[in-house]
A and B are shown apart, each in its own frame.
Chain A
């Protein structure tokens, strides 16, 4: 796991790229003037905000991250169709449930990404990360973390946990190398 970027003047390379792209998309043009302005903004904003930024791990394998993004997008489309069918079907057949998924990730950024992907994929919404951050003293590391999720139609608890761990958590561990 690496936290600092290679160059001092570019603390968060991916965020700079995002700012650059968002500025061009907002103005809907690729003229020279807008590109210069976008480059200036992409360098100045991360530098100006770096003093009050909490350090987060960097993405170390961009290729794998791109592939994971494609997989998640594909899953979002299938998930939406599945949930639409479940919603239109009869209510009595649904068996909702709360499931606790043990986490191997420790950093907050990977956990946030995992919780968001779980919220966007088939019939699950992430609800809580245990143990409570407020119940821990400053600097203390909990032995084990859990993600509480609500499932719309729970059939096999163990199979669901295995899917989440293999399909979504394992690539994240590799991307952030932690």
Chain B
């Protein structure tokens, strides 16, 4: 039974990580590429780490909780690094694709 849970969590996590990387390659401009890695990978990593937690809690003596720390850390840092990257992209005035709406909302920086 636990083997099934671990397998399903692993497959979900692996496919989310893969989808994040597919988004990184497939999207046409930088701002759209950012969405894949910042979001899809957080849930992917969270379910991979949950699978590892269940695996080590059932196969080894004692309860393994260090994985929670890693997934919390990733969850907290993903928006911060995404913010820094989009900030530097705006600073360097990267082109967004033509059908992007509301481009005039971007203000020039000092």
Binding site for B on A (CB under 8 A): 22, 25-26, 28, 76-77, 79-80, 83-84, 86-88, 91, 94-100, 115-116, 119-120, 123, 125-128, 130, 132, 134-135, 148, 150, 152, 154, 157
Contact = CB atoms under 8 A, between A and B. Distances in A.
Given A91-B26, A116-B80, A127-B83, 19 more contacts: A80-B42, A80-B44, A83-B35, A84-B16, A84-B40, A87-B20, A87-B26, A87-B35, A87-B36, A91-B27, A95-B99, A95-B101, A96-B101, A98-B103, A119-B38, A119-B79, A119-B83, A152-B35, A154-B102
B96 interface: yes
18 contacts: A25-B69, A28-B62, A83-B23, A83-B36, A87-B19, A88-B19, A91-B26, A91-B27, A96-B31, A98-B100, A100-B102, A116-B79, A119-B79, A120-B38, A125-B31, A125-B38, A127-B87, A127-B90
Nearest to A91: B28
B65 A25 contact: yes
A130 B107 CA distance: 8
Interface in B1-41: 16, 19-20, 22-23, 26-29, 31-32, 34-36, 38-40
A124 B63 CA distance: 37
Q: Looking at chain B's contact residues, is the secondary structure mostly helix, strand, loop, or mixed?
A: helix
User: How many residues of B sit at the interface, in one of the four size bands?
Assistant: 35 or more
Given A76-B42, A84-B40, A120-B39, A98 B66 contact: no
B79 A150 contact: no
A80 B87 contact: no
A123 B43 contact: no
B69 A119 contact: no
Of the listed residues B29, B68, B110, the one surrounded by the most CB atoms of chain A closer than 10 A to its CB is B110
Interface of B: 16, 19-20, 22-23, 26-29, 31-32, 34-36, 38-40, 42-44, 62-66, 68-69, 75-76, 78-80, 82-83, 86-87, 90, 96-97, 99-103, 105-107, 109-110
Given A77-B43, A83-B40, A128-B87, A98 B105 contact: yes
Given A84-B16, A119-B38, A120-B78, A25 B68 contact: yes
Contacts, number: 124
A135 B107 CA distance: 12
B22 A150 contact: no
B99 A148 contact: no
Contacts of A76: 42-43, 75
